[in-house]
């Protein structure tokens, strides 16, 4: 029986609620030349416009065309995909690599393929949304532990009835920029016959020798019970994701990871760009330390603790206050991130400032002037 009722009227109610709470979001398409100093993107190494990276993308585009033409198991795998996988694996000290269409897809694929009914997944409360969604899709029993709480992880592993268990964490947490206690977590998974899955999205290119990531920095590379996931869209200035693990883990994912089997393969231009960016990082390993140095500069300017990563978090509390401060930064030539719930917990809305290796002294001077003015005004 028909009705005049609008079936989607609830959307208007939800939008009004979000607007009143200062949580309304909007797209802001940028132009090629914004005139803004970038402290919002994840282009940590400053390679998005590097000529070698652009040339790498163009060369692949001309060689292979605009798309991969199919899933990886049909026509979407090229020799260049295979080269990228082997080069990334060698770089971080893993046996093998498997490239996905995005970092999100890599996390979904790895977790759902390695978990399943009759297994336990233990996930840090600060894990990225892609790991959260992977938990939901895993069909496993999921236990979320307080951020960085090793005791809670141990209790979950020790008291489980399931034979298989995964422990999930970011290496560098995207909102606060803090590091996971990976060495201690690995001791726990080894003690309790579990597997550690580490998302190195914000670690590759920043932490470790020459940007090889926190797993490599802590000497955990190549361990059979450590699975690394990463994105190609941050330090490697491209798009896509990768799982870096043992040969048998990667072989299992080829057979069972739905986001690998049923998704179109990564476009060749993105593969070429990522390979070229990795080549720049190999030739210029100092860029990794430069990111940390610039993050320290920005933290001192903002009056917050120096982070162990590229992420400088300036917590303002109220979402509207954070939104207004970000808008004031833009009006004065500075593009910054604005993180509000649900991206961060209630009461911790913030400016998220990301460092780039190629920030200049002149840009840092401008950053200092703008942040001094904006943060002073926001405090009153």
Q: Are residues 333 and 218 located together in one domain of the fold?
A: no
Which pLDDT score, from 0 to 100, does residue 378 have?
82
Q: Are residues 145 and 250 located together in one domain of the fold?
A: yes
Confirm whether 276 is domain-assigned: yes
Which pLDDT score, from 0 to 100, does residue 268 have?
98
Which pLDDT score, from 0 to 100, does residue 135 have?
98
Work out the mean pLDDT of the chain and round it to a whole number.
Answer: 96
Q: Are residues 274 and 292 located together in one domain of the fold?
A: no
Which pLDDT score, from 0 to 100, does residue 28 have?
85
Confirm whether 206 is domain-assigned: yes
Of 232, 253, 283, the residue at which a domain comes to its end is 283
pLDDT at 151 exceeding the cut of 60:
yes
Confirm whether 10 is domain-assigned: no
pLDDT at 360 exceeding the cut of 80:
yes
CATH number at residue 169: 3.40.640.10
Average pLDDT on 52-63 reads: 98
Confirm whether 24 is domain-assigned: no
Q: Are residues 228 and 319 located together in one domain of the fold?
A: no
Q: Are residues 261 and 374 located together in one domain of the fold?
A: no
Q: Are residues 301 and 258 located together in one domain of the fold?
A: no
Domains identified in the chain, total number = 2
Domain interval for residue 61: 51-283
Q: Are residues 246 and 363 located together in one domain of the fold?
A: no
Confirm whether 200 is domain-assigned: yes
Average pLDDT on 232-236 reads: 98
Q: Are residues 313 and 266 located together in one domain of the fold?
A: no
pLDDT at 379 exceeding the cut of 90:
no
Of 238, 257, 283, the residue at which a domain comes to its end is 283
**pLDDT per residue as tens digits for the range 172-183:** 999 999 999 999
Which pLDDT score, from 0 to 100, does residue 111 have?
98
Q: Are residues 268 and 368 located together in one domain of the fold?
A: no
- Grade residue 1 by pLDDT with cuts at 50, 70 and 90: low
From the centroid of its chain, how far is CA 145?
Answer: 20
Which pLDDT score, from 0 to 100, does residue 132 have?
97
Query: Which of the two residues, 114 and 22, has the higher pLDDT score?
Result: 114
Of 227, 248, 283, the residue at which a domain comes to its end is 283
- Grade residue 31 by pLDDT with cuts at 50, 70 and 90: confident
Q: Are residues 233 and 102 located together in one domain of the fold?
A: yes
CATH number at residue 359: 3.90.1150.10
**pLDDT per residue as tens digits for the range 325-348:** 999 999 999 999 999 998 899 999
Q: Are residues 278 and 291 located together in one domain of the fold?
A: no
Q: Which pTM was predicted?
A: 0.94
Confirm whether 19 is domain-assigned: no
Confirm whether 15 is domain-assigned: no
């Amino acid at each position: 029986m028909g009705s005049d009722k609008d079936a989607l009227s609830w959307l208007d109610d939800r939008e009004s609620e979000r607007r009143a709470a200062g949580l309304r979001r909007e797209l802001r398409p940028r132009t090629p030349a914004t005139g803004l100093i970038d402290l919002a993107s994840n282009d940590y190494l400053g390679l998005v416009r590097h000529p070698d990276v652009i040339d790498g993308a163009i060369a692949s585009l001309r060689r292979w065309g605009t798309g991969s033409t199919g899933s990886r198991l049909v026509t979407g795998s090229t020799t260049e995909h295979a080269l990228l996988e082997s080069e990334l694996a060698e770089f971080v000290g893993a046996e093998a690599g498997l490239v996905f269409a995005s970092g999100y897809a890599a996390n979904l694929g790895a977790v759902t393929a390695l978990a399943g009914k009759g297994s336990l997944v233990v996930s840090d409360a600060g894990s990225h949304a892609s790991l959260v969604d992977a938990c939901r899709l895993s069909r496993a029993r999921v236990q979320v532990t307080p951020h960085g709480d090793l005791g809670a992880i141990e209790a979950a592993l020790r008291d489980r009835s399931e034979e298989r268990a995964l422990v999930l964490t970011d290496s560098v947490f995207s909102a606060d920029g803090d590091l996971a206690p990976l060495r201690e977590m690995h001791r726990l998974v080894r003690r309790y016959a579990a597997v550690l899955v580490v998302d190195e999205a914000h670690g590759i290119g920043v932490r470790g020798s020459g940007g090889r990531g926190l797993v490599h920095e802590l000497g955990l590379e190549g361990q059979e019970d450590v699975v690394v996931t990463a994105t190609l869209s941050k330090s490697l200035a491209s798009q896509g994701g990768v799982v870096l693990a043992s040969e048998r883990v990667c072989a299992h994912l080829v057979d069972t990871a739905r986001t690998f089997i049923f998704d179109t393969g990564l476009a060749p231009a993105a593969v070429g760009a990522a390979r070229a960016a990795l080549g720049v990082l190999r030739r210029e390993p100092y860029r990794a330390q430069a990111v940390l140095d610039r993050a320290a500069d920005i933290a001192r300017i903002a009056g917050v603790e120096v982070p162990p990563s590229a992420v400088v978090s300036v917590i303002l509390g109220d979402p509207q206050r954070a939104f207004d401060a970000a808008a004031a930064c833009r009006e004065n030539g500075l593009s910054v991130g604005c993180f509000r719930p649900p991206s961060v917990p209630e009461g911790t809305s913030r400016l998220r400032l990301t460092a780039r290796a190629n920030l200049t002294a002149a840009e840092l001077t401008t950053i200092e002037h703008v942040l001094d003015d904006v943060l002073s005004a926001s405090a009153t």
